[in-house]
Amino acid sequence: MVRSVHVLPHTHWDREWYDPFPTFRGRLVAMLDELLPRLEADQAFHHFQLDGQMAVVDDYLTVRPQQRKLIGELSTAGRLSMGPWYVLPDEFLVSGETLIRNLQLGIARAEEFGGAMHVGYLPDMFGHIAAMPQLLRLFGFEHAVVWRGVPLSIDRPAFFWESPDGSTVRAEYLSAGYGNGSGMPADAAQLRERIGMFTEVQGELVGQTVLWMAGMDHEAPPPHLSRVVAEFQSQESLRSTPDGAGTGEDGEEPETYDLRIGSLSEYLQVAPSTDLPTHRGELRSGARANLLMGVTSNRVDVKIAAAVAERTLERLAEPLCALWSADPSREQPLLDLAWLEVIRNAAHDSICACSHDEVVDAVLHRYAEAIRTAQGVAQSAVLSASSQIHKSGILLLNPSARERVELVEIDVTASDLAGAWSAGQEFETSDQSWFQVLSERAAHEELHISTAADAPLIVARELIFEHPETAQVVLIERPESAAEGSDSGAILEVHLLGELVGGETPTALSPLDALSELGRRCERDPGLRISTVLHHPEASSRVLTMSGQVPGFGWALWEPHAASSKVQSLGPWGLTNGLISVEVDTTNGTFAINGNPGYGQIVDEVDVGDTYNWCPTQPEIRTLQPQSTTVQRIEQGPLRSKLQIDSEYLLPACAPSEALLNPPSLLQTVTTVLELRADEALLRVNCSLLNQVQDHRMRVHFPLQARAHSSVAECAFGLVERPLAAEGGPNEWGVPTFPSRRFVTAGDLTVTHLGLCEYELVDLDGDAQDPLTTSGALALTLLRCTGWLSRGPMASRPLPAGPENELLGSQLQKPLTLQYAIALNYPDPYELADRVWSPVQVVESLGGGSLNDSGSKLEVSGMEVDAVLTDSSGRLVIRCHEPLGHQGWMRVPGRAGQIVDLLGNHIGEFSEELKVRPHQILTVALDPIEP
């Protein structure tokens, strides 16, 4: 019997991991400097796969731009495969839109060199999302290649992988990983022995055709590759002859091999696609390969930065730019730069933060740049909107698809109030039916007092940089006696005015003349003191107020609205708004919601794991009760009130070790602020601490009023229901901690969060009832701190997952702010997440535009909107998905266009509405509105 062995020379190249990016790029350059000429010269070295990601090509060409021609020639000739990804991402810790932009960028870059590998290559992701087959199909791919996450129920070398919408790809299962053929022996006999051992050990997981992945992390195929393959073939041809093969002990002909070098696409063309099992949904099993689920909870600072960057791009900058910018194409290069940083960070070792401290520093820096860039684009769009409304006033912009009514913070003057109140009713900002005053500003304010030596520079800075709107300056000199509290010398008042001054006002100067005059006076009288006074048109107040209705993707000029459900005190340490109530237990720092106690219990556990996996001590060391708790009201008002809980916990300073069997304990303060707003059936929570403790996991527990059999969490392009248990294996515990994107629901409870991705259904101490089938609480991980990138044998994972390097940054010894919100029986978790994390934007309308007081730029209903952007041709593009598993309709009134795939190719026509199947991802490019 002849068994085909398809040799795929490749490398798996982590751009940054246990060493920083510059170090790995240097190794990449050295590897490709040797490999590319060898590939060009050796025709028997038929093919090489450059890890399925285009970033490594860009990294190499940054240093060796002269090699661009050779890479293009090898790719066009089918000798070198690249893409389709830009980076090989993690799938659970980045948004669905980031995954799409990643593939779009990778394919676009690969097209410049002859085209991308037409395979959904997923070799080392820490599990796979349920929507991935649908995404791959929308890019035109029919095949995926996977390793981690495949459950024990898959007992073949391939299977059909189905998304919830029914989209299916054939998935090639790398049962032994992507390096089963690494370290190719130079001897044909040894190679034959290795292949035989592999097929014997893997059994039914290897088909009649073997995929021999001849490569590994940062490894190039050896120079003897083509020679040993030729020698192997020569020897096998002798075995296949009657004199060379002989017969086995059972009288059957022994197995021989047909060994050939080729591409992954060539292998998949002949790989069997019949009699394969089907798996539907996500892949998160650790049965055969480590899932490394602890990456979800390490380095919470990275996860928070990722959430903010993606939210700012996807739910603020892009939709506001597409809908409000006068010329979105001018802003697109900035958006592209921000997306590039986010995509680079999506690499699995980067976003998962299982990396060198310098790598994580670089990741945080890239996110910071992406956030700042996206904020700048959003601000530009908001300013553009301010000139498009026909009236002046306070303008509210809604960046989401749903109509919004929420609390906003605005600056108001008496003129604003007079103009906004259409019915002519008189009221003051002190009227708590409408406003909650945060601060007040007089019509004029003293900015600072300076000496004669410093004043010219200070005033110049105010005029040029801080208040360039200043039109006139008035200088008024007061004698010493008029300067209360002065020691010596006179006071010169420098009044900055934004409007022309007339009447009895002293002579006003231009800013330039005023600076000249100020300089002369300061030179003449060195003892002069200068008071700089800024004038505003009128006094104003910073207030909280209700927004009124703001249409989805629309705008509204603000006018006062009273809150229906105001916030009131409830007992000594409680709040209620009639929709939800909270009361703090001063004995332990927990709080009751709607009379049900036990929410917000902090549970801290010593962790002897690493960045890949949590591992408890044996026996477990847990802290549940604080040493002390204090509560105070830090804000009290009818529209917003806040309670602050300060709890001190006595925690082990670090995990026990051979060098320190009994670590000392430290007092760790955790500050929790509970915020309740008018007209909201949710509780916002801000948890902050200066983390002083090492080697620990801190979680917050929430009781469920009815025991739950499962949880439902947001994932990329949908919701995923998960049981209480997780499938593990001999090399990794099946720890049922799971990721969520923005929210998770269990029973009556919904928690939405900002980058607190890990949760678990647990039982509160002493409350276990049938724990294998139901759970009584949800645990949200606030932080998990460890000092090891990877470590050796530990209870939860007996083998290392990477280099055993010590880290400092992953101990998170710094201030942390952790935010989440809680709601009970909330009807729409997507609306909850948008409300909490994507608020209405406020800007002053300049007037003079053509738009009415209120309206919508785009109406979309029936699906969850994931992206609103403009494409390269200037069309408005909407991407959305059906999340609930219901057949329905997507409606965009008054608009027509084309249904396109994720590469922008035409699929069908769209006119105002479209019937959508459950869980469908849909992209529509709208035709321009006729003027």
Extended beta strands in 349-435, E state: 392-397, 407-413
β-bridge partners, 529: 451, 491
3 state DSSP class of 101: helix
Mean pLDDT of 88-107: 98
Pick the closest to residue 533 from 582, 474, 468, 466 (CA basis).
Answer: 474
Please tell me the distance from the alpha carbon of residue 592 to that of residue 671, in angstroms, as a whole number. 17
Does residue 495 carry a pLDDT above 90? yes
Mean pLDDT of 487-501: 79
Does residue 678 carry a pLDDT above 50? yes
251 pLDDT tier (thresholds 50, 70, 90):
low
* Residues 6 or more apart in contact with residue 214 via CB below 8 angstroms: 7, 8, 9, 10, 181, 182, 184, 221, 225
pLDDT at 424: 44
pLDDT at 658: 84
3 state DSSP class of 221: coil
pLDDT at 444: 92
* Residues 6 or more apart in contact with residue 181 via CB below 8 angstroms: 7, 8, 212, 213, 214, 215
pLDDT at 244: 56
Per residue in 717-776, pLDDT tens? 999 999 999 999 999 999 999 999 999 999 999 999 999 999 999 986 655 555 567 889
Mean pLDDT of 614-637: 95
Contact 498, 470 (CB under 8 A): yes
pLDDT at 659: 86
Per residue in 417-434, pLDDT tens? 666 554 445 555 555 668
537 pLDDT tier (thresholds 50, 70, 90):
confident
pLDDT at 513: 95
Please tell me the distance from the alpha carbon of residue 142 to that of residue 119, in angstroms, as a whole number. 7
Q: What is the pTM of this model?
A: 0.94
Choice among 147-161, 243-257, 267-281, 823-837 with the minimum mean pLDDT: 243-257
Q: Work out the number of other CB atoms within 10 angstroms of the CB of residue 441.
A: 15
Residue entry with tokens 């009221």: 427
506 pLDDT tier (thresholds 50, 70, 90):
low
pLDDT at 756: 99
Does residue 367 carry a pLDDT above 60? yes
Q: Which fold has domain 585-837?
A: Beta-galactosidase; Chain A, domain 5 (2.70.98)
pLDDT at 415: 74
pLDDT at 494: 97
Does residue 254 carry a pLDDT above 80? no
What angle in degrees, to the nearest 10, is found between the helix axes of 328-345 and 300-312?
160
Q: Which fold has domain 2-82+117-272?
A: 7-stranded beta/alpha barrel (3.20.110)
Per residue in 897-917, pLDDT tens? 999 999 999 999 999 999 999
Give CA separation, 640 vs 154, 565, 817, in Å. Answer: 53, 11, 20
- Quote the DSSP letter at residue 175: T
Amino acid 725 reads A
Per residue in 568-606, pLDDT tens? 999 999 999 999 999 999 999 999 999 999 999 999 999
Mean pLDDT of 456-473: 95
Please tell me the distance from the alpha carbon of residue 920 to that of residue 899, in angstroms, as a whole number. 13
Mean pLDDT of 452-477: 94
Q: Measured at the alpha carbon of residue 336, what is the angle toward residues 332 and 341, in degrees to the nearest 5?
A: 150
Does residue 481 carry a pLDDT above 60? no
Structure tokens at 455: 């004043």
**Summary mean pLDDT of the chain:** 94
Burial 398-413 (b: 16+ CB within 10 A, else e): bbbbbbbbbbbebebb
Q: Work out the number of other CB atoms within 10 angstroms of the CB of residue 878.
A: 26
Please tell me the distance from the alpha carbon of residue 709 to that of residue 746, in angstroms, as a whole number. 8
390 pLDDT tier (thresholds 50, 70, 90):
very high
pLDDT at 478: 85
Give CA separation, 148 vs 221, 285, 354, 389, 460, in Å. Answer: 23, 7, 16, 53, 62
Q: Rounded to a whole number, what is the largest CA-CA distance in the chain? A: 121
239 pLDDT tier (thresholds 50, 70, 90):
confident
Does residue 632 carry a pLDDT above 50? yes
Does residue 501 carry a pLDDT above 50? no
- CATH tag, 858-931: 2.60.40
482 pLDDT tier (thresholds 50, 70, 90):
very low
pLDDT at 504: 44
**Which residue ranges make up each domain of the chain?**
2-82+117-272, 444-535, 585-837, 858-931
Q: What is the CA radius of gyration of the chain?
A: 32
Mean pLDDT of 370-378: 99
Amino acid 918 reads P
Does residue 449 carry a pLDDT above 60? yes
State the DSSP H helix or E strand holding residue 235, giving kind and residue range, or none if neither: helix 225-239
Per residue in 172-205, pLDDT tens? 999 999 999 999 999 999 999 999 999 999 999 9
Give CA separation, 590 vs 599, 638, 671, 700, 825, in Å. Answer: 6, 24, 12, 10, 20
Does residue 499 carry a pLDDT above 90? no
279 pLDDT tier (thresholds 50, 70, 90):
very high
How much of the chain exceeds pLDDT 90, in percent?
Answer: 89
